[in-house]
Structure 1
Amino acid sequence: MTLVARTRVQGIETLTLDAPATRNALSAALVGELTDALSDCAEDADVRAVVLTHTGNTFSAGADLRDPPAPDTFVAVLRQIVELPRPVVARVTGHVRAGGLGLLAACDITAAATPATFAFTEVRIGVAPAVISLPLLPRTDPRALTRYYLTGERFDAPEAARIGLLTTTGDDVDAVLAPVLDGLRRSSPQALTETKRLLTARVLETFDRDATHLTALSARLFSSAPAREGMTAFLERRDPAWVL
């Protein structure tokens, strides 16, 4: 079963996360397929840009708690998106949680339909948004991240745009993205590659400085007793023991 579908129209390669039964949770298998698809895009001179989108009502629910990728594997795919020599555009028509927000932050341009919702739910299962901070911290409003990291609150698409998580939002996400994709098709491939390199330099500095530490932190937290309780509670659809 294919978990990442691929299509191409006029030089725009669309990669579609296609595991709606698990709300496109980031399993080891899905992340592996996404890695392979991105590698193919990087090597194909006919790809002008990449659109990352999804089936179902959720862009990604975050890590698949039954089959999560290793933290260093997820860091690698985030960096792959940032370093890809083609612009990567996220197209969101549903909800985004936890690790899915890391995918968004790694993309160069992000657009979501107005009904989409977002939440950093890690604290509610006993862990922290560790590795996804690598692209998030350099690109997102720090005061807003403080609130949403610490509380796990849900917020809407206009708020996501205000804090820098989204580039743009609108009722019709395809109408919003039409001029973006047209602009990318009209741009020189060499110019796009070099301009992206300028724009992502600070993000990659964060990866170089913090990836090892945050990968270790993520692994430690996910193997902890509070995380086991939080994940068990989530799967059993009950409150974890620490809820007052």
Structure 2
Amino acid sequence: MANYDHIRVVYGKVSEVVLNRPEVRNAMSDRTLDEITHAFRNFAMDGELRAVLVRAEGKDFCAGADIEWMKRAGRLPAEQGRRDAERLVDMCQSVEQCPVPVIARVHGNIYGGGLGLVAACDIVLAEAGARMCFSEARLGIIPAVISCFVVPKIGEWAARRYYLTAEVFGMDVARQMGLVHEAAAEVELEPKITAILENIQRNGPNAVREAKALLRKFPGLPFQERVELVLDTLVRLRGSPEGQEGFSAFLEKRKPAWIKTRA
């Protein structure tokens, strides 16, 4: 198990990634991005993993990019600067492509690049008082890299307003645009997250992974290729050991085997 400086990882069937630089409001530097990427690439190799919870220490989930790092990166030659910027792509991709559900629990301020991390997660729950902002234009740059993950979630229409104005918005707007699934008071949030994780673990482990993989492939496919994909997937899963166990458990009025062994 790796040791990290900017994040903390709690390992288990439901693992946690905790942003752990509250003294800088969890601003993300190149090191932060590399550590998150490393953690999620390790998760991808864990066949027993059921879900990952992403949360943060301190009063803010993430203030965006570490400005000291961004200033240094701006002085790099173009090719080095490009490689440096790819760190953010790698981080968001490692989260989005994690084979199990990734749930974000966000609070406080979530600005700039922090919204790329949020958009890469599968399920997002927020404290009702949280605030979000695509703040890059205030710094003379744009939400460039994170657009690959944000725009598919919120659409070009919402992006036009909130990219161009860099307005701060609350959780009602975040829900409407598709960045957040649910917002609640802090005392209500933990039971909601627990319920989501329990529901995930009631499902077939492979079925959950297959559902996430299907949703990742689906958007870019022409209709007929979508049809072929869903037919091939259903036929394969109906005949799989997990599918057969699920059918048998239902008919025999018992819990399937995976529930007996879940954490």
What is the TM-score when the length of structure 1 is the normalising length?
A: 0.79
Higher relative contact order (CA 8 A, sep 6+): 1
Q: Matched residues, percent identical? A: 34
Unaligned runs of 5+ residues in structure 1 are: 206-244
Deviation of the 1:200 alpha carbon: 2.0
- Within 5 Å, give how 1:124-203 maps onto structure 2: 124-171=138-185, 172-201=188-217
Supply the distance in 2 between the matched residues of 1:203 and 1:99 (Cα, whole angstroms): 24
Who is 2:32 aligned against? Answer: 30
Question: For this pair of structures, how many residues does the alignment match?
Answer: 204
**Kept in 2: contact 1:61–1:97 (CA 8 A):** yes
Supply the distance in 1 between the matched residues of 2:7 and 2:219 (Cα, whole angstroms): 26
**Kept in 2: contact 1:31–1:74 (CA 8 A):** yes
CA distance 1:129–1:182, change in 2 (3 Å): same
Who is 2:79 aligned against? Answer: none
Q: Which amino acid aligns with 2:189?
A: V
Which structure has the larger Rg over C-alpha atoms?
Answer: 2
What is the TM-score when the length of structure 2 is the normalising length?
A: 0.73
Deviation of the 1:39 alpha carbon: 1.6
Supply the distance in 1 between the matched residues of 2:220 and 2:103 (Cα, whole angstroms): 18
Who is 1:16 aligned against? Answer: 18
- When structure 1 is superposed on structure 2, of 63-72 and 100-109 the one drifting more is 63-72
Secondary structure of the equivalent of 1:174? helix
Who is 1:93 aligned against? Answer: 107
Deviation of the 1:93 alpha carbon: 2.1
Deviation of the 1:145 alpha carbon: 1.8
Supply the distance in 2 between the matched residues of 1:8 and 1:120 (Cα, whole angstroms): 32
- Within 5 Å, give how 1:196-211 maps onto structure 2: 196-201=212-217
Deviation of the 1:203 alpha carbon: 6.7
CA distance 1:58–1:200, change in 2 (3 Å): same
Deviation of the 1:32 alpha carbon: 1.4
Unaligned runs of 5+ residues in structure 2 are: 74-83, 222-263
Secondary structure of the equivalent of 2:64? coil
CA RMSD of aligned residues (A): 1.7
